[in-house]
Structure 1
Amino acid sequence: MAYNEHFKGEDPSVTKFYGDRTILTSCAYLLPHLKPNTAILDVGCGPGTITAGLSKIVTSGTVTGVDITTPIIERARSTFPPSSYPNLSFAVSNATDLSEFKDNSFDIVHAHQVFVHLQEPLKALRELYRVCKPGGIVACREGNGRRILSLKPDLPAIREYWDNTVAYMDKSGGHIDAGARLEEWAKELGFEEHGGKIVLQMGELRFPSHAEGMKGENAEQAVRAGIATKEQMERWREAWENFDRTDGSEFVIETGEILCWKGEV
């Protein structure tokens, strides 16, 4: 769910949604640039599935995953313990304030679907730039929720739900079009200076069903917050369950994948 103030990363439905992400589905664009001894910071790591996957590639390097809430970090730690992932660690931190990490600390700084939720994405990107080593890479993958590329079955209730999500993200100060603005932000922060480089490609971001977010405590929170009425939540739940029953169902939005090489400052 995109209701970032009311649906927290530790909620079971949200955890499952983020937990389905892997390095192959979510950061394949970055994998060719990894070396065995790479030091990686994964910002907004959620339950840690991408983070753990990265640690299995950089076997003689280190991977640190950070997220803003303690429960989700505790879950990541319990799911991926040091006994099985000796080069992996997790910590509570804020993408807009990574002050516990020194300047020029990591070879690669990675973020997946983080900026869409932030009121100050430039402040966060500046922090990613700061902790990245000169010559290192800041890698970000963000959706552009204003462009639905495919919706099958194309149900009016799901369109209504998504329009509501976009409007709420706009109202709450999020950036649902972050994927379309990555290059603009990277240039503004000076990634092309001092020999740096920016490579952007546009692709697809496939969403799983949102049916779990339409019922139980999540639905009640949405109603209490004035995000939707009970009638809307019920209509959306029925539509997503129809989506689940349909062979070949898909919900795809545009996504931006950017690799930013930090100049040799």
Structure 2
Amino acid sequence: MSQNGKVVYVHDHSEAVLNSHRQRTAENSAAYLLHYIRPDMRILDIGCGPGTITVGLAQRVPQGEAIGLENLPEVLEQARSIAAAQGVTNVKFELGDLKALPYPDDSFDIVHSHQVLQHVADPVAALAEMRRVTKPGGYVATRETDFETMTWFPEVPGMRSAHDMYKKLSASRGCTANAGRELKAWAIKAGFSAANVACSAGTWCYSTPEVIQNFGATWAERITSSSLGKGALAGGFATQEELEEMSKAWREWSTKEEAWYGILHGEIVARK
């Protein structure tokens, strides 16, 4: 995609990626935001993917509504199916782009994104656009991984190479793998007062056998069967043989009884 605010996604929306995204909920991925929500709010969830977080937000605004925004129609159909299966009717999913949100100024009480700004070439412009469609007194909330803080055990040869490959590919596309630590600075540059930017940090921890196996299998498949691996090959960041070794390492790690993985996220809620 072009730069200047558009998402430059290092992954794609293959089944391996969507499988990971479907594990995300309002509880495990937006807990820092939940106490700001009132039942009558109107919420925009940008980069909603399969909509599992959006549906959770909608359930918290029974007198309001939530809108999930995504730039791929086929992913939106999956989100609509998930909402329908859960009987959530105050949610809708729309096609749109973060570069120019298709809404008037001051439209939403909360504008939320999760793991989106790390894939945006100009995150400050993206936050300014999110701020534009937020009502005065409303909130922009976002949560981003800080890739450098990812840690795991045991250290299986090949996993570190996969980690380093991802960082190189991300940087080559103008993205920010360590976005979590920069959120406050970006929000201030986007026009928010520093006093109105509440910061926190959250974690994901993978340790149970089922979760570890799913997480490891997902990353093994991403490396060889999604645009992540294709991008690494095209950019010269790995050979096919090296990608196969990285994938094998993830699968081997996921079989370890003692396997553990931790991820730190930066979080902000910025009041307009």
4+ residue segments displaced more than 6 Å: none
Matched-pair identity in %: 33
Structural mapping, 1:25-36, within 5 Å: 25-36=28-39
Q: Tell me the CA shift for residue 120 of structure 1.
A: 1.2
- Deviation per residue, 1:113-152 (Å, 9 max, x gap): 001111111111011100111111111100111223x211
CA-to-aligned-CA distance 1:41-64 (integer Å, 9 cap, x gap): 000101100001111111111000
2:3: which partner in 1?
none
1:231 lines up with 2:241 in the alignment: yes
- Tell me, yes or no, if the aligned pair for 1:116 and 1:176 is still in contact at 8 Å: yes
Correspondence for 1:143: 145
Give TM-score scaled by structure 1 length: 0.89
Amino acid at match of 2:104: K
Deviates more, 1:138-147 or 1:204-213: 204-213
Letter in structure 2 aligned against 1:140: T
In the other structure, the counterpart of 1:58 is: 61
What is the rounded CA distance, in whole Å, between the counterparts of 2:66 and 2:231 in structure 1? Answer: 35
Q: Aligned letter for 1:118?
A: V
Secondary structure of the structure 2 residue equivalent to 1:95: coil
Instruction: Mark the CA change 1:217 to 1:119 in structure 2 (over 3 Å): closer, same or farther.
Output: closer
- Cα distance in 1 between the residues matched to 2:200 and 2:54: 22
CA distance in 2 between partners of 1:224 and 1:137 (Å): 40
Give the drift of 1:237. 1.4
Amino acid at match of 1:257: E
| Matches for 1:195-234 after TM superposition, within 5 Å | 197-206=196-205, 208-209=215-216, 210-216=219-225, 221-222=230-231, 225=234, 226-234=236-244
**Residue in 1 aligned with 2:118?**
116
Given the alignment, which residue of 92, 95, 99 partners 2:95? 92
Determine if contact 1:153/1:243 at 8 Å carries over to the other structure.
yes
Q: Partner of 1:260: helix, strand, or coil?
A: strand
SS of equivalent residue, structure 2 residue 148:
strand
For 1:259, the equivalent position in structure 2 comes to: 269
CA-CA distance at 1:249 after TM superposition: 2.2
Q: 5+ unaligned residues in a row in structure 1: which ranges?
A: none
1:157 maps to: 158
| Whole-angstrom CA distance in 1 between matches of 2:191 and 2:10 | 34
User: In structure 1, what is the equivalent of residue 52 of structure 2?
Assistant: 49
Deviations 1:164-216 (A, max 9, x none): 100110011111111111000111122118xx611111232447321221344
- Residues of 2 paired with 1:6 and 1:169: CA distance? 6
- Note the alpha carbon deviations across 1:75-125, whole angstroms, 9 max, x for none: 212222399221100011111210x20101100110000011111111110
Q: Is the 8 A contact 1:43 1:109 kept in 2?
A: yes
Separation in 1, partners of 2:113, 2:226: 28
Q: 1:246 matched to which residue of 2?
A: 256
In structure 1, what is the equivalent of residue 173 of structure 2? 172
TM-score in terms of structure 2 length: 0.86
- Secondary structure at 2:31 match in 1: coil
Question: Aligned-residue CA RMSD in angstroms?
Answer: 2.2
Q: Is the 8 A contact 1:223 1:230 kept in 2?
A: no
Letter in 2 for 1:187: I
Q: 1:82·1:88 contact (CA, 8 Å) conserved in 2?
A: no
Partner of residue 12, structure 2: 8
Determine helix, strand or coil for the equivalent of 2:32.
Answer: coil
Structure 2 unaligned blocks of 5 or more: 1-7, 207-214
Question: Structure 1 stretch 250-259 or stretch 112-121: which is displaced more?
Answer: 250-259
8 Å CA contact 2:83–2:89 kept in 1: the answer is no
1:96–1:120: 8 Å Cα contact kept in structure 2? Answer: no
